[in-house]
């Protein structure tokens, strides 16, 4: 099988280790014998419908976001990404990328940036930066089978593998609109806005999150979920990815859950 990963604005939107998500997706696919092609879509590149199996959109500072927001509209990349998400193409967007996939992002003393409306959410600049390690309870991505049992046996009763762990650094406060599905509930950290205990947003197979770090190496269940969704849509059949040895990933995950929750 072959997987085409579309990396959106890599030169402009790639901070706090977000590149690690592309590496994690590529390696976890290649370790299963799946060929991976990474296609970069910067301002000068054209995006065509149906040419990408999985999108990744990293975080970026306000200045970069202004440039990218303009291009998403002017180049119609935004319209195409939205149509692909509606078709079920999976996407992972982190922080600044996540903000631009909502309805809008209003930075401090600057022009409001129109989002492309993938997520039913909007973002306004906050007065304080929300920085630190974050632990989120999420029912979306659990470790199945013996890993979960062994991990949960080792973890104190209150801990389960239904957690996502990461690192956040943002001043933007994202608010989900009525009916929007959060990625999870904050156990430790700020999440979307530091007020309503939600973190991220999930819409069809698109995931938005404030978790840098990078997110996927320490959350292999989410990485495999994105890969599975992409391959199932592309090949039109149910896909059961061959299990990998997640010992290191789960040790890092467990250490973060134990230390920060």
Q: Which is nearer to ligand GLN, 193 or 219 (CB)?
A: 193
Q: Which is nearer to ligand GLN, 59 or 213 (CB)?
A: 59
CB of 209 to ligand GLN, least distance (A): 11
Q: Which is nearer to ligand GLN, 105 or 141 (CB)?
A: 105
Residues 174 and 195: their CA atoms lie apart, in Å, by: 10
Q: Which is nearer to ligand GLN, 133 or 169 (CB)?
A: 169
Count the neighbouring beta carbons within 10 Å of the beta carbon of residue 119. Answer: 28
CA 39 to chain centre: 18
CB of 152 to ligand GLN, least distance (A): 32
Which residue, among 204, 202, 165, has the nearest Cα to 182 in the 3D structure? 202
CB of 13 to ligand GLN, least distance (A): 8
Q: Which is nearer to ligand GLN, 81 or 130 (CB)?
A: 130
> Residue 39's beta-bridge partner residues?
6
Please list the active-site residues.
95, 212
Please write down the HEC assignment for all residues of the chain: CEEEEEEECCCCCCCCCCHHHHHHHHHHHHCCCCEEEEEEECCCCCCCCCCCCEEEECCCCHHHHHHHHHHHHHCCHHHHHHHHHHHCCCEEEECHHHHHCCCEEECCCCCCEECCCCCCEEEEEEEEEEEEEEEEECCCCCCCCHHHHHHHHHCCCCCCCCEEEEEEEEEEEEEECCCCECCEEEEECCCCCCCCCEECEEECCEEEECCECCCHHHCHHHHHHHHHHHHHHHHCCCCCCCCCCCHHHHHHHHHHHHHHC
The site for ligand GLN (CB under 6 A) is made up of 15, 59-62, 65, 95-96, 99, 169-172
Q: Would you say 28 is a known binding-site residue? A: no
CB of 218 to ligand GLN, least distance (A): 17
CB of 20 to ligand GLN, least distance (A): 14
Instruction: Mark the binding-site residues, compressed into ranges.
Output: 129
Instruction: Mark the binding-site residues for substrate, compressed into ranges.
Output: 129
């Amino acid at each position: 099988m072959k997987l085409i990963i579309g990396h959106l604005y890599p030169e402009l939107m790639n901070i706090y280790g977000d590149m690690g998500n592309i590496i994690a997706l590529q390696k976890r696919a290649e370790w299963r014998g799946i060929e991976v092609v990474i296609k970069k879509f910067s301002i000068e590149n054209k995006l065509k419908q149906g040419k990408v199996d999985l999108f990744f959109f990293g975080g970026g500072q306000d200045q970069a976001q202004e440039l990218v927001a303009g291009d998403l509209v002017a180049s119609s990349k935004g319209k195409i990404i939205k149509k692909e998400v509606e078709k079920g193409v999976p996407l992972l967007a982190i922080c600044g990328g996540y903000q631009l996939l909502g309805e809008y992002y209003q930075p401090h003393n600057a022009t409001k940036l129109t989002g492309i409306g993938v997520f039913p959410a909007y973002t306004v600049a906050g007065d304080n930066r929300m920085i630190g390690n974050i632990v989120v309870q999420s029912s979306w991505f659990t470790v199945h089978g013996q890993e979960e049992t062994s991990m949960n046996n080792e973890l104190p009763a209150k801990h389960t593998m239904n957690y996502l762990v990461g690192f956040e650094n943002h001043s933007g406060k994202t608010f989900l609109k009525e009916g929007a599905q959060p990625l999870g509930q904050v156990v430790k950290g700020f999440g979307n806005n530091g007020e309503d205990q939600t973190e991220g947003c999930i819409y069809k197979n698109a995931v938005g999150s404030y978790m840098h770090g990078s997110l996927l190496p320490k959350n292999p269940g989410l990485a495999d979920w994105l890969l599975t969704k992409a391959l199932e849509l592309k090949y039109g059949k149910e896909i059961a990815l061959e299990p990998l040895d997640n010992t290191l990933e789960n040790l890092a995950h467990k250490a973060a859950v134990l230390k920060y929750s």
